[in-house]
Each structure stands twice: as structure tokens, then as C-alpha cells.
């Protein structure tokens, strides 16, 4: 399926098949848990499993990129 046209893309990610298949119920749970913990409590790595810590590090990096891109877009608008 390498030669298939892209069906979804965002910034540095491009896929040739529906990305819905890449999102597992575990992935959704990590995103929800990350969001909840960031909003209502500090994230203490000592209270995370290794899989949670890994997922949270990826989510934190992607969130920082999104925020940085948003700030750049706002500056470029003026």
C-alpha cells in the first residue's frame, strides 16, 4: 500500500490508510488519563506505569509542539 495516495495528514505525519485503525482503546485511555491528570493534578512519574510514562512523554512533546505552532501562527497573523 506504499503507492496509495495519502488519506490523512497533519504537520509531520502522513498516512496512506485510515488512521482510525491505529488508535486503540488503550491509546484513547492514555490520552484521557493524560488530559485529566494535567488538568486536575500534577503528573507524578512515580505513580505511573512504564507504558503510561512513555505515552505521557509523547503526549507532552506533541502538546508542546501544538502550542508552539499556535503561537507562531498568531504572531504571523499580525
- Give the model confidence (pLDDT) of 1-32 as tens digits: 567 888 888 877 788 888 777 788 999 999 99
- Give the model confidence (pLDDT) of 33-59 as tens digits: 999 988 888 888 898 999 999 999 999
Backbone angles phi, psi at 43, to 5 degrees: -85, 115
| pTM above threshold 0.75 | no
Domain boundaries, the chain: 8-77
Contact yes or no for 29/36 (Cβ under 8 A): no
Confidence of residue 67 (pLDDT cuts 50, 70, 90): confident
Amino acid at each position: 500500500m506504499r503507492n496509495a495516495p495519502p488519506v490523512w495528514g497533519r504537520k509531520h505525519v502522513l498516512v496512506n490508510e485510515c488512521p482510525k485503525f491505529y488508535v486503540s482503546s488503550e491509546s484513547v485511555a492514555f490520552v484521557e488519563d493524560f488530559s485529566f491528570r494535567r488538568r486536575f493534578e500534577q503528573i507524578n512519574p512515580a505513580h505511573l506505569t512504564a507504558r503510561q510514562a512513555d505515552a505521557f512523554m509523547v503526549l507532552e512533546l506533541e502538546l508542546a509542539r501544538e502550542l508552539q505552532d499556535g503561537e507562531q501562527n498568531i504572531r504571523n497573523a499580525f
